[in-house]
């Protein structure tokens, strides 16, 4: 530590520093963290050998295990058997002095550990689980070995994952073997009408049964889904209010919100993996209708309830959320998440006027949104806009006319920083193209080839809408990859389950439905990538046919 102090003095370093260590260097990093936490601002540990030093395999793997591959042979002769390292390990490496525990980190929020799945020195998956249990931010790179991240630079190092869920619509009143025409809440006198399966009634007005919701969260507990950077949930937690015989109470609404949040918490470590939710049109006391809290006490009440429920998430829920249900949150070294309340733009919200009325909820939010986008542009930060209702479904506008025009204009004006636009609501796997025609911007949903009337070089951005858990179509969720250097989406893997088969066989089988990179032949979804993707849809009939099949998560195809 005397040497570290001398370095700070010689270079006149007055502020705390970022401590980075790799392999044996993580031992030195650990000394600094434990002895001088006052000079540690952030910590990055790569292929760390400082954890679980009480495990015998670490010494065995590094000192005694004979090499079996070319890389292990290099490690054996030039590292493990190097004279100074061998002398240090044999004479001065006291395990109890060099071990690090999670409690030793001065701040977990400013800590990141990177592990390689196939590390031959440490048992990386075991260390990863140990760190995750203790809420230490850690990433496990699948297929990598020790030092690969340093020796073999590829774009894989810049890829992080985002879990994306939409429209859960959990219904605790769902009854198996009930009548779907009665919203799966009651049985019909005719046994042949009672067709509701254990996991849902596909293509009906019924909401999601608890076993279906449990299955998706249980599937997301798999290790491959735990290594995510953050989670996007675009709302509509609660059941619909269609059943007039069993109306939804306010307490039931809150209980459904609590159930889903508890499910996220039981599935992910929400202290290290951020969850970003947004408000859906069924998440409020009155279906489709909500105003600013300053105009309506009922609206203010649900915002306060959600703020209390979401408080453990550590989000930036300021006055803009308390009054309007929207928030902005910048991820350190990542994109800025702008969660908008699409209910203020939604054409079905009859409680409020269009956005051209000064002081209306939509007008207030539009000003707020442009302020956030302008701030991000000035700081050169990429933005992910998340909301529940998209502005367009196929060719139908879903926003009020003036709100729609103003919103599309903002999307075009700031298209160079909007790296993702993520919505739900329609239960469909759907793309909408933002294009610039004669100096103005327009949106075009894509459901058939004749919708593609724009020129490819006019495309500025593309809005993505993902499938839902509620089985209007087959249930699905999505895992995005993105470039950590600039926030650009690299693609997504779509997961699904065939609900009809699930109900027959008595268990839910989730699997990958398709990969966007394989389907569209594009590995980077910036402006040029989206143009390339649309060109593929326009010119490749097989690709467009598959796109149409996936819009409804193969539900229509399975019925044909």
494-538: per-residue pLDDT in tens? 999 999 999 999 999 999 999 999 999 999 999 999 999 999 999
- Given a cut of 80, whether residue 78 has pLDDT beyond it is no
Please give the pLDDT value at position 55. Answer: 80
Please give the pLDDT value at position 149. Answer: 67
Angle between helices 361-378 and 401-413 (to 10 degrees): 0
State the pLDDT confidence band at 156, using cuts at 50, 70 and 90: very low
**Pick from 489, 498, 497: nearest CA to 517:** 489
Top-level CATH class of 17-153? alpha beta
Please give the pLDDT value at position 412. Answer: 97
- Given a cut of 50, whether residue 59 has pLDDT beyond it is yes
Please give the pLDDT value at position 159. Answer: 56
Domain with CATH 3.60.21.10 in the chain: 161-173+208-488
More confident of the two residues 353 and 78:
353
Mean pLDDT of 369-385: 97
Question: Among the listed ranges 42-56, 207-221, 520-534, which one has the minimum average pLDDT value?
Answer: 42-56
Please give the pLDDT value at position 75. Answer: 73
- Cβ(393)–Cβ(430) under 8 Å? yes
State the pLDDT confidence band at 260, using cuts at 50, 70 and 90: very high
More confident of the two residues 77 and 414:
414
Mean pLDDT of 159-180: 92
159-165 and 476-483 strand pairing: antiparallel
pTM of this prediction? 0.77
Helix (H), strand (E) at residue 365: helix 361-378
Question: Among the listed ranges 5-14, 300-309, 368-377, which one has the minimum average pLDDT value?
Answer: 5-14
- Given a cut of 50, whether residue 541 has pLDDT beyond it is yes
Please give the pLDDT value at position 155. Answer: 47
Q: Who's near 354: CB < 8 A, 6+ residues apart?
A: 360, 362, 400, 401, 402, 403
More confident of the two residues 532 and 228:
532
- Given a cut of 70, whether residue 154 has pLDDT beyond it is no
- Cβ(144)–Cβ(117) under 8 Å? yes
Please give the pLDDT value at position 364. Answer: 98
Please give the pLDDT value at position 88. Answer: 74
- Given a cut of 90, whether residue 53 has pLDDT beyond it is no
| Percentage of the chain lying above the pLDDT 90 cut | 71
Question: Among the listed ranges 40-49, 235-244, 545-554, which one has the minimum average pLDDT value?
Answer: 40-49
What is the rounded distance in angstroms from the CA atom of residue 320 to the CA atom of residue 336? 16
The predicted-structure confidence for 21-37, as pLDDT tens digits, reads as follows 998 899 999 999 998 89
- Cβ(196)–Cβ(206) under 8 Å? yes
- Given a cut of 60, whether residue 442 has pLDDT beyond it is yes
Integer CA distances (angstroms), 288 to 3, 20, 354, 404, 470, in order: 64, 50, 15, 17, 18
- Cβ(233)–Cβ(263) under 8 Å? no
Query: Going by CATH, does the domain composed of 161-173+208-488 fall within 3.60.21.10?
Result: yes
- Which 3 state secondary structure label does DSSP give 462? strand
Mean pLDDT of 100-129: 88
Question: Among the listed ranges 84-88, 156-160, 320-324, which one has the minimum average pLDDT value?
Answer: 156-160
Question: Among the listed ranges 89-93, 277-281, 326-330, which one has the minimum average pLDDT value?
Answer: 89-93
Domain with CATH 3.40.50.1820 in the chain: 17-153
- Cβ(256)–Cβ(238) under 8 Å? yes
Pull the structure tokens for residue 558: 């399975």
What is the rounded distance in angstroms from the CA atom of residue 130 to the CA atom of residue 10? 38
Q: Left if phi > 0, otherwise alpha if psi is -120 to 50, otherwise beta: which for 279? A: beta
Which DSSP state fits 54?
T
- Given a cut of 90, whether residue 135 has pLDDT beyond it is no
State the pLDDT confidence band at 70, using cuts at 50, 70 and 90: confident
| Percentage of the chain lying above the pLDDT 70 cut | 97
Return mean pLDDT, the chain. 91
State the pLDDT confidence band at 94, using cuts at 50, 70 and 90: confident
State the pLDDT confidence band at 458, using cuts at 50, 70 and 90: very high
Computed on alpha carbons and rounded to an integer, the radius of gyration of the chain in Å comes to: 26
What is the rounded distance in angstroms from the CA atom of residue 327 to the CA atom of residue 207? 28
């Amino acid at each position: 530590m005397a040497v570290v102090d001398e370095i700070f003095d010689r270079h006149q370093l007055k502020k705390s520093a970022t401590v980075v260590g790799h392999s044996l260097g993580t031992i030195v990093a650990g000394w600094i963290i434990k002895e001088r936490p006052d000079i540690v601002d952030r910590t990055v540990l790569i292929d760390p050998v400082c954890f679980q030093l009480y495990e015998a395999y670490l010494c065995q793997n590094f000192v005694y295990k004979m090499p079996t591959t070319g890389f292990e042979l290099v490690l054996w002769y030039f590292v493990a058997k190097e004279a100074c390292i061998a002398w240090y390990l044999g004479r001065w490496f006291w395990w109890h002095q060099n071990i690090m525990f999670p409690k030793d980190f001065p701040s977990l929020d400013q800590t990141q550990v990177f592990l390689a799945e196939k590390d031959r020195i440490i048992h990386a998956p075991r260390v990863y689980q140990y760190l995750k249990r203790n809420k230490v931010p850690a990433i496990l790179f699948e297929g990598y070995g020790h030092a690969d991240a340093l020796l073999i630079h590829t774009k894989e190092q810049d890829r992080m994952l985002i879990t994306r869920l939409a429209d859960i619509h959990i219904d605790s009143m769902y009854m198996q073997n009930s009548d779907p025409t009665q919203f799966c809440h009651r049985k019909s006198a005719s046994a042949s009408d009672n067709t509701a399966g254990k996991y849902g009634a596909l293509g009906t007005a019924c909401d999601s049964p608890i076993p279906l919701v449990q299955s998706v969260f249980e599937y997301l507990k798999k290790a491959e889904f735990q290594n995510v950077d953050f989670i996007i949930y675009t709302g509509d937690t609660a059941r619909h209010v269609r059943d007039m015989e069993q109306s939804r109470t306010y307490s039931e609404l809150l209980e459904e919100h609590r159930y889903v949040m508890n499910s996220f918490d039981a599935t992910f470590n929400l202290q290290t993996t951020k969850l970003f939710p947004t408000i859906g049109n069924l998440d409020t006391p009155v279906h489709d209708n909500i105003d600013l809290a300053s105009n309506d006490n009922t609206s203010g009440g649900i915002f306060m309830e959600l703020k209390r429920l979401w408080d453990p998430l550590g989000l930036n829920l300021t006055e803009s959320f308390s009054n309007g249900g929207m928030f902005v949150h910048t991820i350190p070294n990542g994109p800025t998440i702008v969660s908008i309340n699409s209910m203020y733009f939604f054409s079905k919200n009859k409680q409020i006027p269009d956005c051209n009325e000064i002081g209306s909820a939509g007008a207030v939010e539009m000003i707020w949104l442009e302020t956030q986008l302008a701030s991000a542009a000035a700081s050169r930060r990429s933005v992910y806009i998340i909301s529940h209702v998209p502005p367009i479904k196929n060719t139908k506008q879903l926003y009020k006319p003036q709100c729609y025009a103003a919103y599309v204009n903002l999307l075009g004006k700031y298209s160079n920083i909007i790296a993702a636009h993520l919505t739900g609501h329609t239960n469909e796997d759907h793309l909408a193209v933002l294009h610039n025609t004669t100096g103005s911007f327009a949106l075009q949903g894509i459901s058939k080839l004749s919708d593609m009337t724009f020129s490819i070089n006019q495309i500025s951005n593309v809005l993505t809408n993902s499938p839902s858990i509620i089985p209007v179509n087959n249930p699905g969720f999505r895992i995005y990859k993105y470039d950590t250097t600039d926030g650009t989406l690299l693609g997504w893997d779509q997961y699904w389950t065939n609900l009809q088969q699930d109900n027959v066989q008595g268990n839910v089988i989730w699997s990958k439905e398709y990969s966007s990179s394989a389907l569209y032949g594009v590995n980077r979804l910036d402006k040029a990538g989206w143009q390339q993707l649309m060109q593929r849809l326009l010119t490749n009939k097989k690709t467009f046919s598959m796109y149409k099949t996936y819009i409804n998560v193969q539900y229509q195809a399975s019925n044909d």
